[in-house]
A and B are shown apart, each in its own frame.
Chain A
Amino acid sequence: MTEDNKSTSKRVSRRRVLATAGIGALAAASPFRINLAMAQEPAIKIGFPVPLTGPYGTEAQDQVRAAEVAIAEFNESGGFNGRKAELLVRDDKLNPGEAATRTLELVEKEKVNFVVGSLSAAVQLAINNVTKERGVIFNSISQSDTINEASDFSKFTFHEALNPHMTAGAVGRYAFPKFGKKVAFLTADYAYGHEMVRGFQEAGKAFGIETVTDVRHPIGTTDFSALLPRIQALKPDILCISNFGRDQQIALKQATDFGMKKSIKIIAPILLYTGRVAAGAQAFDGVVGGTSYYWGIEDKVASAKAFNDRFRKMHGGKVPSDYGALGYGGVKTLLMGARAAGSLDADKVIAAVEALKYDYYKGPQYYRKCDHQSVQSVFIIESKATPQKGDADVFNVISTDEPNEANLRTCETLGHKS
């Protein structure tokens, strides 16, 4: 009781604090303790800044849908000592400045208990800057290597998403021995692309891969045709396309049009479920990539089945996407951490989340102590030529990279004291 008073004291007037403390003291001694507490306590607020508008809007909307599932489950199972959780969604417009402003509002005005969200390497760092300064726990659900590093990390920072090192590493370890050593890269010219290429090249050292070219293109490129003949002329075994959203769809379509799939295996660090559904089977046909989640694992993973079913029930029979599922995982881990801690005090929740060994939707996961990176599996998927089980049946899971800390950069490399 006193613990909760302390954590809420910043957002109410002094008079209110005194009154609450008085009631709290009374309540502690009273048999009506729980009822009083329930009437008294506001909802647990989770700020959720994601890019609802802009090129990643489709993915962001699915993140919200999945987060709603986590909130509903938590509230139905009794909440936090009867306190409900509440999601406060904000549009960060895929802009670091906008995200920082929205996050600051969430923290200062809405007094959120936790922040979960982001869908961009740069935007999550901007959110993290705000939350770590204000001492609010932030769980990022978007890929980034930098967020693990000592310079950006704080004890308040968690990273539920995969990072490029893990993703590209898993895809590389699968692809290089199978498809060949001569690799051409076509890369979106920003943090995401750069980190992915670094991940591939580090994983490739063990297989002696040779980089024949690394062509960079700006975000939002609509025509890749001028970049493709040269890549083709270099005759690589593998073309590795590291870009996101519409850029990925257009690049794959145009590479297919140029007949590149005849002699070259195309791989991508991440194959987006939403992208594949939007672009159709032809462009993605035969492309191999990684993902943090694909709904089709429900045949083998019980928690995935439960999550998918709940998602279908809440959202008109749809299945969750990869980035959507991260919204679920990101919200759920913090809420379960709070429940395990029996407190909303940041330090206690942090300790509880660090101690979690969880399997909420994709198999076993846990947060590594030094950088709060979620250690988890990476699924290697291949796009199907023709869906057999309805429109959502787009990928085959061809391999699973099991959770293993050895696939992460070491704590020392990241600059953490071990």
Chain B
Amino acid sequence: MSGLSFDLIALQLFTGLALGAIYVLFAIGLSLIFGMLTVVNFAHGAFYMVGAYAGLFLVSMGGNFWICLVAVPLLVGTFGMIVERFLVRPLYGRGIDYPLLLTFGLSYIMVELIRIAFGTSGYPFDTPELLQGAVDIGVGYFPLYRLFVIGATAVVLIGLWLFLERTSFGLIIRAGARDPQIVRVLGVDVSKVWLIVFGIGTAIAGFAGLLAAPLQGVIPEMGATILAEAFVVTVVGGMGSIGGAVLAGLLVGVVVSMSSLFAPEMAKVSIFALMAIVLLIRPQGFFGRAGLMS
């Protein structure tokens, strides 16, 4: 293979991290909801798509991208909480497949509603002016916006970590995930905790969709592809583990990027090969707790 240099490999690695950043954001929401609520949220891709459309709508109403960065997670998170309160909550304690089927159906309804409201053909989403163009990162030119995506992901991760580890509410969430019964006995309203967890998870999905919009445009089906890949991420990282989702998300991004460099036709298969290898060695994934699904 000619033209293979250190710079190219470094640049490719960076590309992989930027790709992985979106996977990470998507998968932590998925993992958070699964780890705390044992709900496999099949509508997560639809929330991601709604985030992109919410951004599109706000921009068309005269808002700008920076306002969207705050407003979109709030909107999508609120919507997520409504879904949890009225649709998911009645199904707690009925086994894992009830909310799975519910969210699966919900995702179809959401996509179809967006098609009715915005049409089937999709829209472009301009990169905010401040973040257009490419910058020299020492090893070559790299799109400024993708650097921003990596940075924004890091900020969300740090914020989430501080929230869960350093606040008393975070403590309740973690305790609620481990043993909801005891937490309830201690006088905590667990259903409120779950409402907020579902809200946070879907808010991050909406945020990820907004970040992805300037990279690839906005279409009603954009959530479906990433959902399949994000399940690979959560399985590799360990179902329900946020740390695992972060590590696996970045790893999947880098694996896609590196296999694209050496064998582009293998790029799509490579993440599933990665999943197979990880499952053979560690069936519960990197940081997964065994028996969570049973």
Contacts and interface: CB of A to CB of B under 8 A. Distances in A.
Interface of B: 3, 5, 7-8, 11-12, 15-16, 18-19, 120-124, 126-127, 132-134, 140-143, 145-146, 215-217, 219, 222, 225, 256-257, 260-261, 264-265, 267-268
Given A189-B265, A278-B122, A259 B8 contact: no
A225 B145 contact: no
A321 B120 CA distance: 18
Given A189-B265, A233-B7, A254-B215, A227 B124 contact: no
A104 interface: no
Given A233-B8, A250-B217, A258-B141, A226 B122 contact: no
Interface in A224-260: 225-230, 232-234, 246, 249-250, 253-254, 257-259
Nearest to A249: B217
A225 B149 CA distance: 14
Interface of A: 53, 57-58, 189, 215-218, 220, 222-223, 225-230, 232-234, 246, 249-250, 253-254, 257-259, 278-280, 282-283
Nearest to B8: A233
B12 A257 contact: no
B16 A258 contact: no
Contacts of A232: 140-141
A246 B219 contact: yes
Given A222-B222, A259-B134, A278-B122, A229 B8 contact: yes
Contact of A229 (B127, B132, B140): B140
Contacts of A222: 216, 222, 225
Contacts of B264: 215-217, 227
Nearest to B222: A222
Contacts of A233: 3, 5, 7-8, 11, 140
Given A229-B11, A229-B15, A230-B8, A257 B146 contact: yes
B121 A250 contact: no
Given A218-B268, A246-B219, A249-B217, A230 B3 contact: yes
B7 A246 contact: no
A394 B277 CA distance: 49
B139 to A, nearest CB: 9
A46 to B, nearest CB: 25
A369 B7 CA distance: 55
B124 A257 contact: no
B8 to A, nearest CB: 5
Contacts of A258: 134, 141-143
12 contacts: A57-B121, A58-B121, A225-B15, A226-B257, A226-B260, A229-B11, A230-B3, A230-B261, A246-B217, A254-B143, A254-B216, A257-B143
B134 A253 contact: no
A394 to B, nearest CB: 13
B215 A223 contact: yes
A397 to B, nearest CB: 24
A97 to B, nearest CB: 21
Contacts of A189: 265
Given A57-B121, A233-B140, A259 B215 contact: no
